[in-house]
Amino acid sequence: MNVIVRADDLGYSEAVNYGIAKAVKQGIVNNVGLMVNMPYAKHGYDLIANDNICLGLHANISAGEPISSIEEVPALIEEKQFKKSAVYRSSVKDFVNIDEAVLEVQNQVNRFKEITGFAPHYIDIHAVLNPNFLSAAKAVAEQNEILFVDVNVKSGTILLNNQGIKMQVENGKDEEVLYDSFFSTVLDNKEAEIPMIVYHPGFIDAPLIKSSSVVTERAFQVSFLTSEEVKSTAVKYEIDFLRIDEV
């Protein structure tokens, strides 16, 4: 049985970085999305630089400041910061300017290379599922010959190299719920699609509390992803943890 386990938001804060690093080094995570525009992006990468993982660009237009100048991406900005994800979700009209989004995502690819020394293994998107943002990120991925995690917003299905992937963003509140959700998803999967389960592991610090809607859940996810029970059960059922770039 195969599953893709992905951890998003590397770079969000120091505590998030330490939590993700633990989930990589002591847990079942081998795919990680880096938010290169966030202040702790380099710190996060340094923590996992020597680990054998698939590291992608978690393209972001809804947290922190842009890589581009504010004057270059005005439609994405509110008070010198990216507009919050809630602003995008509540808008009836897709106000994302594709040209601005293409510029910003390309600049994030360039920053990713500056930080890591290599191109992203994949590009996916953070929080904003607006069609214009998806189109912009996909265009940048194609231009740079980078694998794109292409999301069908209505079905939640992802297409990777023509392989169907069923994405599930995990929001369980404690280890028991996370455990039951994970193994029911993997073991009860009767579809041809490979499941991709997305987590947001991390420890907690002030920057996270001030700016994120997902806080305590992150600590429970670290605990779940690194638990001996999860690892031993995965071995028992011969579950293979796939890299996104190997699908």
pLDDT score, position 173: 85
Range of the domain at 54: 2-246
Are 211 and 63 in contact by the 8 Å Cβ rule? The answer is: yes
pLDDT score, position 156: 72
Percent of the chain that is helix, strand, coil (3-state, to 5): 45, 20, 35
Q: Say what the pTM is.
A: 0.96
The whole-angstrom separation of Cα 111 and Cα 95 is 25
Neighbouring residues of 22: CB distance < 8 A, sequence distance ≥ 6? 201, 222, 226
The 10s digit of each residue's pLDDT in 25-81 is: 999 999 999 999 999 999 999 999 999 999 999 999 999 999 999 999 999 999 999
- Quote the number of domains for the chain: 1
- SS3 category, 198: strand
pLDDT score, position 209: 96
CATH code of the domain in which 185 resides:
3.20.20.370
Mean pLDDT in order along the chain per 10 residues (247 residues): 96 98 98 98 98 98 97 96 93 93 98 98 94 96 96 79 87 92 90 89 97 94 97 96 94
Query: How many alpha carbons fall within 13 Å on the CB side of residue 83?
Result: 17
- Per DSSP, the residues of 112-131 read HHHHHSS--SEEEE-S---H
